[in-house]
Copies of this chain bind each other. A is one copy, B any other.
Amino acid sequence: MGDGVAGTPTVYDVAGRAGVSIATVSRVYRSPESVREATREKVLVAARELGYVPSGSARGLASRSTGVLGLCFPDYSDPDAESEAATVDADDDHAFMLYSDQIIRGMERAARRHGYALLIAASLTGGPESLVAKVAGRVDGCAVLARTVPTEDLEVISRRLPVVMLAGPPEQDGPGGLDRLDHIEVANAEGQRELTRHLIEDHGLRRLTFVGGIEDSPDAEARFAGFRDACRAAGLPVPDEPDLRAELMTQAGGARAAEELVDRAGPDGLPEGVLFANDQMAVGALHALGRRGLRVPEDLAVTGFDGIPLGRLVQPTLTTVRQPMRRLGEEAVELLVRRLAEEKRGEPESLVLPVEVVRRASCGCGHEA
């Protein structure tokens, strides 16, 4: 009130009002114990009267650290919402968590434990470097979901601050060598291998079909590799390529794949089991097979991968491999915090989180495990 100051109050205003120097005001906030009790009170009173809030930008600039960690992820929400509005998960959209939600939650909690806030941003299509650069400029360390931005851009940023790539393997980069980023991913191959083994050994299935996705999905490829491993180990024929590739790894794509499988069922008839590279497709397939009058798991087994909540609601409940997305976020924060504590940058790390096979009804298991 009538302090003669127009804009938002700064250290100078508070200092003036409290009759101290700006250094003292700063100290009151940064290291209160170094200021005499009486002085501190004066300053805090003045600050309250003025409605003073320290500027994070100024503080960050002067101290060279922000107390914020960042997360960038691709904008995969909108296309789905528009193209599949009629499917069951449109209704679930508001109820179930996307991967990004889970990772956010994991990171937020872990960040909180370490005293960090979390800055999140999804790539608005168009801005090439704008997204990551914007985030990178405001944080002490940053996690980026695979395939959000070119790895090359990430490496530039990683020269300035710790960057960890989530859910993606190290990539071949430039001449001779992998990228120099930290990575955290889940055990896609191992999970799919174990799931396949379960179908083969525990359910005695032998004619298996793997439905993959687009070729440049490292996840889907790794899962296919796991499938092959299991086939090889069991002495079954080992396919070079997935029997089918869905161009979209969605319910619609899965349904189409299922119909094609049924249509082209040769002299041997249907496969005994169909393994989809993700849950979305498997759920779509479940619906499609039902419409064709086929029973799962009696006529054929079906499995997914991911562990989405929807898998528990469909009929039959979906056998799948659950990914620990929450932990992915938590581990990302732990890694970043560790990096920030380092004197000098260590070698890139690559962490692989274990997954869990979830046995439900669609593979023939009687009950949920």
Cα–Cα distance between A67 and B137 once the two chains are bound (Å): 12
Let me know if A303 is at the binding interface, CB within 8 A. Answer: no
Q: Is A278 on the interface with B (CB-CB < 8 A)?
A: no
Given contacts A48-B156, A55-B137, A119-B119, contact A95 B309 (CB under 8 A): yes
B122 in contact with A120 (CB, 8 Å): no
For the complex formed, measure the closest distance between the CB of A78 and the CB atoms of chain B, giving whole angstroms. Answer: 8
Which residues of chain B have C-beta atoms less than 8 A from A97's C-beta? 94-97, 101
Q: Does A160 contact B (CB under 8 A)?
A: yes
How far, in Å, is A354 (CB) from chain B's closest CB? 15
Contact of A95 among B8, B96, B121, B124 (CB under 8 A): B96
Q: Are A53 and B313 closer than 8 Å at their CB atoms?
A: no
A36 adjacent to chain B (CB < 8 Å)? no
CB of A87 closer than 8 Å to a CB of B: no
Give A155 to B226 CA distance when docked, in angstroms: 57
Q: How many copies does the complex hold?
A: 2
Q: Are A118 and B121 in contact (CB under 8 A)?
A: yes
| Chain B residue, CB-CB nearest to A58 | B61
Q: How far is the CA of A104 from the CA of B121 in the complex (A)?
A: 11
The interface-forming segment of A20-28, A107-115, A181-189, A227-235 is: A107-115
With a cutoff of 8 Å between Cβ atoms, the chain B residues found around residue A68 in the complex are 119, 138
Chain B residues with Cβ below 8 Å from A262 are: none
Q: Which of A56, A66, A117 has its CB near the most chain B CB atoms (within 10 A)? A: A56
Is A59 an interface residue when CB atoms closer than 8 A count as contact? yes
With A and B bound together, what is the CA distance between A323 and B33 in angstroms?
46
When distances are taken between beta carbons in the complex, the residues of chain B under 8 Å from A133 are 53-54
Choose from B57, B77, B109 the contact partner of A66 (Cβ within 8 Å): B57
Q: Which residues of B contact A134 (CB under 8 A)?
A: 56, 67, 117
> Which residues of the other chain, B, contact A48 by a CB distance below 8 angstroms?
156
Q: Is the pair B119, A117 in contact by a Cβ cutoff of 8 Å?
A: yes
Closest to A72 in B: B117
Q: Is A60 an interface residue (CB 8 A)?
A: yes
Residues 91-148 of A contacting B (Cβ, < 8 Å): 92, 94-98, 101-102, 104-105, 108-109, 112-113, 115, 117-122, 124, 133-139
Contact of B58 with A156 in the complex, beta carbons under 8 Å: no
Knowing A96-B97, A313-B313 touch, does A157 contact B117 (C-beta < 8 A)?
no
A75 close to B (CB within 8 Å): yes
Give the CA-CA distance A134 to B9 in the complex, in Å.
16
Please name 7 pairs of A and B residues whose Cβ atoms are closer than 8 Å in the assembled complex, sorted by A.
A55-B60, A68-B119, A92-B309, A95-B312, A97-B97, A120-B120, A313-B313
Other than A8-B160, A138-B138, give 13 A-B pairs with Cβ distance below 8 A: A51-B157, A54-B137, A55-B60, A56-B134, A57-B58, A57-B61, A57-B137, A112-B122, A117-B120, A117-B134, A117-B135, A118-B121, A119-B120
Give A contacts to B, CB under 8 Å.
8-9, 48, 51, 53-61, 66-68, 75, 77, 92, 94-98, 101-102, 104-105, 108-109, 112-113, 115, 117-122, 124, 133-139, 156-157, 159-160, 309, 312-313, 325-326
6 closest A-B pairs by CB: A57-B60, A56-B138, A56-B137, A95-B309, A51-B159, A117-B121
